[in-house]
Each structure stands twice: as structure tokens, then as C-alpha cells.
Amino acid sequence: MRNEKGSLIRPVPLPASASRPVVTPLSPSVVYASETPDQLDAQYEGHLHGYTYSREGHPNADVVAARLDAMEGQSGGTVTGSGMAAVTAALMGLLSAGDHVIGGNQLYGRSLRLMKEDLPRLGITTSLADPGDVAAIKAAITPQTKMILIEVVSNPTLRVADVKGIADLAKAHGILLAVDNTFTTPRSFRPYDYGADIVIHSLTKLLAGHSDVMLGYVSARDPDLSQKMRVFAVTTGLSASPFDCWLCERGMLSFDLRYDRAQDTAIRLADHLATLKGVKRVIYPGRADHPDAARARELLGAQTCNMVSFELDGGRAAANAFTRAADGLSFAPTLGDVGTTLSHPASSSHRALSVDERAALGLSEGFFRVSVGLEDPDALMAVFTDAVAATRDLA
């Protein structure tokens, strides 16, 4: 194989163009060629910006990181290959054997697993406590506590964490506060404005928004911590693929519009579900009957979230009838897609818990979490009306 000059395979020179592309070019190159060893030295020493190897960084990841940094009001964030890679970079990149970390007791399932199984195996001790109760978090602090990890809105019970109270507590004890902002997104909540030290995202969800990308993001207020997490992510291969970053950026361009539309429909859906016979209860932080309504208003304002949970009368039989009748809605364990998705914690995210443990969280067999998408709101309400009606004889 020869290039068009008749010599070796690479490089193929890019065609000259006085104009530039409007869309970020996709850069799938794994390696980047430097001109000389002196130039490479300058790159490694940070005197000259240049990419070397895509696990270490590439333009598409940097473009996504810069957009997220701007949304969160930070700089120096790292894009990772998944949301869990971002959680891992924060916990394992910053903590050492002998340290202790407190996690919210309703963290995302894999984050909980990391806390319960993997960190202890590496000598990092962990405790779980209710992030809605500052006294419970305080009681879990030990002299070794280095970090508290919380989510703003819990999954799937949609309780709102006392982020302000926990941030004050963490600051008073010199403990880092890491906030997973996946559910709320910077459109609803900006953790750095409330005292967080570290912000984590699964970009897989609302920010990329089309269920065709798996990515995460992590940044820290302290540039040294950001750098530590980046180096850990690069060393352990938590890096993001250029194509996923390219798709993610494309999704992010419409994020604000998608989010606003989805959460407007979520409010309507919550109110609509509450009128339907066969629905035992509805959970939505923007409703006046939510136990954390005042805190949701204070922290999230009018932009609450696009997630609605509800409980059907009639247990598993009703749940089966509901998903069968929910025409056009995906029964799939994710959130933030352009289409509305349903998740059933008892058979998916919380299946490893005992019936009693689930009951303690209020997760019966009739419990569903809805990630509201961009469908026509009237059409969506009609689907829910029909699907709930299909469960009535089973209650």
C-alpha cells in the first residue's frame, strides 16, 4: 500500500481548505505523530499542547469535557468511558487504603456495589447513610472519613438530598463532597454552587440523550484533584471513545430543549397519574405532596427532573399487565432517552435486595419509575391511561 505520492502508507495529507467545518470533526486516531523528539518532550512537559495517544486524551473528549465544564461552572473535567468509570475515578483515584467514605444509602446500584464490595477489598472502609438526614451522615463520620458521595435525587424513590446541609458538614470536617448530578443535570442543579468538591455524571443518560452512547464525566474544584482523577482514569483505561464523544456532543447541542420539554411533560404525567384509579401513589419532587417538596423547590427551582415514580395496586400481575399494555413505551432499565422508558426496580435495579429490604424503601411489585421522553404529551397521557386501565381487574 502506497499513499498518493507513491511512497509509504501514511500520512495521507488532508485536502487544503480555507474554510473550516461547522461540526466538530471526528478524530478516531489512536495515535498522534509529533515532528521531533524535542517536540514530544515539550508536549509531555506541558509547554506545547499536543495529543499523543487517545487513551491519554483526544479532541472529541476534550470538546465534551469543555462543554460540561462550562455547564457546571468548572474547568479541567475529564470525560470517561461510562458513568461508572467517572464514579470509579473519583473513589479509587482519590482514596487510599485506610480511608473511609460515606455513601448515600440509595446510590445507583453499581455505585453501591463499589462501596460495599470493591472498596473494602482494597482497604477503603465505607458506610451508607440517608443523604436526606444530615444527622445520619454526621453520625457516620469517623476520623478516617475522606469523602461523602451522594446523588441529588435518589433512584427510584426520588427523595431529595440535603445537599446544603451535607456540604456545610463536609466543609466543617475537611471532607470532600462528591455529587453525582446525573438525574438533576446542571439544568436543574449545579453542585459547585452549593459547596460540592467533585461533580460526577453519567453522560449516557440525559446529556447524550439518545441511548446510543456510554460516557461519564468527573471534575473537581481543586485542579490537583482533577489532575489526579484524570491520571488515574488514563492509567486504568477508563478513557472514552472518540465516536461516543462525537455523538455525545451532538446530543448535548439539544440538551436544554430536550430537558425542558421532558420535565414539563413529567409534571403533567405526575398530576395525570394521580387522577387514575389503580394508581396507589405518585412520587414527583415538584408536586406539593412530595415529602421533600420544600427542599426540591429550594435546590432545584422550577426545573425539578424528568423522572416520575408511581405505584400500582395489584402487585406483579398488575405490573406485567401494565408493561404489556404500555404501547410504544420501552420497558428498559435506563433513563434520559428521547423516548419514555419504564423501569421496574423489583425485577431490575433492586432485584438483589430481599423483599423486606425493598419494602423498607417502599419498592413493592407495583412500583415503576418513568423516565419521561419527548413524545407528544397528550399521546403519552393516553398511553398511561390505557395501560393503568389494563391493571384494574388485578388490584
Mind telling me the catalytic residues?
55, 108, 180, 205
Q: In angstroms, what is the minimal distance from the CB of 142 to ligand PLP?
A: 25
Which residue lies nearer to ligand PLP by CB, 144 or 334?
334
State which of residues 82, 145, 304, 364 lies at the interface with ligand PLP (CB under 6 A). 82
Q: How far is the CB of 348 from ligand PLP (least distance, A)?
A: 11
The residues facing 335 across adjacent strands are none
Q: Which of 216, 251, 314, 366 binds ligand PLP (CB under 6 A)?
A: 216
| Residue 311 interacts with ligand PLP (CB under 6 A): yes or no | no
In angstroms, the CA 110 to CA 257 distance is 30
* Amino acid, res. 31: V
Q: Which is nearer to ligand PLP, 87 or 148 (CB)?
A: 87
Task: List the interface residues with ligand PLP, window 183-212 (CB under 6 A).
Answer: 183, 202, 204
- Min. distance of Cβ 86 from ligand PLP in angstroms? 7
Q: Does 132 bind ligand PLP (CB under 6 A)?
A: no
Q: Count the Cβ atoms, other than its own, within 10 Å of residue 246.
A: 21
Q: How far is the CB of 213 from ligand PLP (least distance, A)?
A: 9
Shortest distance (Å) from residue 395 CB to ligand PLP: 30
Residues 194, 345: Cα–Cα separation, whole Å: 30
Query: Is residue 281 helix, strand or coil?
Result: strand
Interface with ligand PLP (CB under 6 A), residue total 14
Residue 202 or 265 having the CB closest to ligand PLP: 202
Which positions from 149 to 188 touch ligand PLP by CB under 6 A, shown as an x/- string?
--x---x------------------------x-xx-----
Instruction: From 16-24, 25-33, 79-87, 244-252, give the range in contact with ligand PLP by CB under 6 A.
Output: 79-87
Task: Give the shortest CB-68-to-ligand PLP separation in angstroms.
Answer: 14
- Residue with Cβ nearer ligand PLP (239 or 391): 239
CB 299 within 8 A of CB 163: yes
Would you count residue 108 as binding ligand PLP (CB under 6 A)? yes
341-362: burial string, b at 16+ Cβ within 10 Å, e else? bbbbbbeebbeebeeeebeebe
Nine cell digits for residue 15:
485536502
Measured CA angle at 362 (ends 368, 178), to 5 deg: 85
Contact residues for 200 (Cβ-Cβ < 8 A; gap 6+): 83, 86, 87, 90, 178, 179, 180, 181, 182, 216, 217, 218
Stretch that binds ligand PLP, among 25-33, 78-86, 127-135, 246-254 (CB under 6 A): 78-86
Computed on alpha carbons and rounded to an integer, the radius of gyration of the chain in Å comes to: 23
Q: Which is nearer to ligand PLP, 238 or 321 (CB)?
A: 238
Residue nearest to ligand PLP as judged by C-beta position: 83
- Maximum Cα–Cα distance across the chain: 77
State in angstroms the smallest separation of the CB of 212 from ligand PLP: 12
Residue 314 lies near ligand PLP (rule: CB under 6 A): no
Question: Residue 309 interacts with ligand PLP (CB under 6 A)?
Answer: no
For the CB of residue 19, give the shortest distance to ligand PLP in the complex, in Å: 36
Q: Which stretch binds ligand PLP (CB under 6 A): 16-24, 80-88, 241-249, 353-361?
A: 80-88
Q: Give the closest residue to 371 by CA, choosing from 390, 344, 350.
A: 344
| 3-class DSSP state of 225 | helix
373-392 residues in contact with ligand PLP (CB under 6 A) are none
Give the residue carrying C-alpha cell 462543554.
Answer: 67
- Ramachandran category for residue 6: left, alpha or beta (phi over 0 → left; psi -120 to 50 → alpha): left
Residue type, 185: T
DSSP per-residue codes, 143-156: TTEEEEEEESB-TT
- Report if residue 62 touches ligand PLP, rule: CB under 6 A: no
CA angle (191 as vertex; 163, 188 as ends), nearest 5: 95
In the complex, the residues that contact ligand PLP under the rule CB under 6 A are 82-84, 87, 108, 151, 155, 180, 182-183, 202, 204, 214, 216
